[in-house]
């Protein structure tokens, strides 16, 4: 058997044994191989009709009554409770709204205020997705803190009595490296500081365990592995024991104890509601709520097991098909250090990705030289993986980016 047939055969066997394989039919997809769900998740098939109902009936017919009758006003906390089990949180600790960037600001400034007097340093993941770094820099200026960028591995040895808050990414958006959330959270706590985690690349792909590991604050987006749609609102987690002291830097009227009291003075609501700001973006939010129904009956543990099997199999196919030395994986081999994507460095990566996309293999390119392939276990199968590696190998043999 040639290598190609052998791995294609193995892919068929893996697909046949995949208990999540049937979930693919819950999504709108085509014959291509979609490996960009870590950037924009695919559309769940029932969402268009639901959005249509929100627009035509709830808005078009009920109009203002929908704030009550269609549950618009309570959507941020209701949808937060739907996300909660996916990130290991009990109900009442997550609100949905605003972008991840805005929630990073709420979380970081809130964290410094929680840390209390005498602590004047914010530590930020030096390899972070840029927006987190930009916002952290501004949060530091707003709170009179110094900003200290560090690689996550350096954090335990560097945090101390000055550290107010530490912002870390659970999974690195470039390399796909999974950081040790329990260990790093414990190290931050040992220094008396507040741990803030960005879950953009982990929620919906692997278990997070926010409550179990004592995470203080967390943020994440919903348009990647949670399939909420372009620009769907992000979320903010505030651990229950901290909610009474959580002091948001954006205390809009939606977080007021009595929003319709229209009082001149601010008094915060109880609970996770304190993370709300202004009028929620109902259309995106209710599209997200509908999208989250694809998780009904799906266990995050099963998703994680399949995710690791998919990335293992991709690495195996790449090692067998791609000419030695043409690509270099940046993604850790150890399962406990791997998220749900594989990042391959290769010369001329931008042009290579263009050629892959032209052949129906959709990943993305990150400057300067990284090919990113995201594996969403809800709708990616093993035959997809084998095909993607085979087309990649053929593309590289034909001269990579050269047309
Ligand atoms: C995707 C992503 C974001 C996106 O931020 P937005 O405000 O939603 O544009 C932020 N941080 C990380 C780590 C991400 O992966």
Give percent of the chain above pLDDT 70. Answer: 99
DSSP SS3 for 128: coil
* One domain, residues 323 and 193: no
Based on the fold, state whether residues 206 and 336 are members of the same structural domain: no
pLDDT band for position 1 (50/70/90)? low
What integer is the mean pLDDT of 324-337? 96
The 10 Å Cβ neighbour count of residue 102 is: 18
Give the atom of ligand 1 at the shortest distance from the alpha carbon of 132: 11
Question: Where residue 403 falls among pLDDT bands split at 50, 70, 90?
Answer: very low
Using H for helix, E for strand and C for coil, what is the string for 175-243? CCEECCHHHHHHHHHHCCCEEEEECCCCCCCCCCCCCCCCCCEEEECCCCCCCCCCCCCCEEEECHHHH
Domain with 365, as residue range(s), is 3-31+298-397
What one-character DSSP code corresponds to residue 379?
A: T
| pLDDT at 401 exceeding the cut of 70 | no
The CATH number of the domain where 377 resides is what? 3.90.1150.10
pLDDT in tens, 346-384: 999 999 999 999 999 999 999 999 999 999 999 999 999
Q: Is the CB of 131 under 6 A from ligand 1?
A: yes
Q: What is the pLDDT of residue 114?
A: 98
- Quote the CA–CA distance of 361 and 153 in Å, as a whole number: 34
Predicted local confidence at residue 55, as pLDDT: 98
Hey, which residues are catalytic here?
A: 129, 198, 223-224, 372
The model's pLDDT over 154-170, given as tens digits with 9 standing for 90+, comes to 999 999 999 999 999 99
Q: Has residue 76 got a pLDDT over 60?
A: yes
Ligand 1 centroid from CA 398, angstroms: 35
The answer on pLDDT for 177 being more than 80 is yes
277 lies in the same domain as 321: no
- Cis omega (within 30 of 0) for bond into 368: yes
Q: Which residues are annotated as a binding site for pyridoxal 5'-phosphate?
A: 100-101, 129-132, 198, 201, 223, 253, 279
Q: pLDDT tens, 202-230?
A: 999 999 999 999 999 999 999 999 999 99
In a domain? residue 38: no
The sign one gets for the Cα dihedral 338, 341, 344, 345 is negative
Please indicate, yes or no, if residue 267 is contained in any of the structural domains.
Answer: yes
Section 122-139 average pLDDT? 96
43 domain-assigned: no
pLDDT band at residue 400 using 50, 70 and 90 as cut-offs = low
> Final residue of a domain: which of 295, 320, 347?
295
Residue 42: inside a domain: no
C-alpha 63/C-alpha 56 separation (Å) is 10
Residue 39 inside a domain? The answer is no
> Which atom in ligand 1 lies closest to the alpha carbon of residue 234?
8
CATH number assigned to the domain comprising residue 208: 3.40.640.10
Nearest-CA residue for ligand 1 atom 15 is 200
């Amino acid at each position: 058997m040639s290598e190609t047939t052998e791995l294609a055969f193995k892919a068929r066997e893996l697909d046949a044994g995949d208990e999540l394989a049937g979930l693919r039919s819950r999504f709108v997809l085509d014959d291509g191989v979609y490996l960009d769900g870590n950037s924009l998740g695919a559309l769940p098939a029932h969402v268009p009709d639901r959005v249509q109902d929100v627009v035509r009936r709830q808005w078009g017919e009920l109009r203002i009554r929908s704030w009550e009758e269609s549950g618009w006003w309570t959507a941020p906390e209701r949808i937060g409770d739907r996300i909660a089990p996916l990130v290991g949180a009990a109900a009442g600790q997550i609100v949905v709204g605003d972008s991840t960037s805005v929630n990073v600001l709420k979380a970081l400034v809130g964290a410094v205020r929680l840390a209390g007097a005498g602590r004047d340093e914010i530590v930020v993941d030096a390899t972070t997705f840029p927006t987190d770094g930009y916002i952290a820099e501004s949060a530091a200026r707003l709170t009179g803190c110094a900003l200290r960028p560090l690689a996550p591995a350096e954090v335990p040895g560097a945090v101390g009595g000055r550290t107010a808050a530490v912002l870390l990414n659970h999974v690195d958006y470039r390399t796909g490296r999974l950081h040790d959330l329990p260990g790093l959270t414990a190290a931050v706590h040992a220094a008396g500081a507040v741990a803030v985690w960005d879950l953009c690349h982990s929620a919906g792909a692997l278990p997070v365990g926010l409550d179990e590991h004592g995470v203080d604050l967390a943020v994440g987006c919903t348009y990647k592995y949670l399939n909420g749609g372009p620009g769907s609102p992000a979320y903010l987690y505030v651990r229950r024991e901290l909610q009474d002291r959580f002091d948001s830097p954006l205390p809009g009227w939606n977080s007021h104890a009595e929003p319709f009291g229209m009082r001149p003075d601010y008094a915060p609501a109880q609970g996770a509601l304190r993370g709300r700001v202004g009028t929620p973006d109902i259309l995106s939010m209710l599209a997200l709520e509908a999208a989250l129904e694809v998780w009904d009956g799906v266990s995050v543990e099963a998703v994680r097991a399949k995710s690791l099997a998919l990335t293992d199999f991709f690495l195996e196919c790449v090692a067998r098909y791609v000419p030695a030395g043409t690509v270099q994986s940046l993604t850790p081999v150890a399962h406990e250090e791997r998220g749900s994507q594989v990042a391959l460095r290769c010369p001329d990566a931008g042009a290579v990705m263009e050629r892959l996309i032209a052949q129906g293999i959709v990943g993305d390119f990150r400057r300067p030289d990284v090919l990113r392939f995201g594996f969403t276990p809800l709708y990616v199968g093993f035959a997809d993986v084998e095909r993607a590696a085979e087309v990649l190998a053929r593309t590289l043999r034909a001269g990579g980016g050269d047309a």
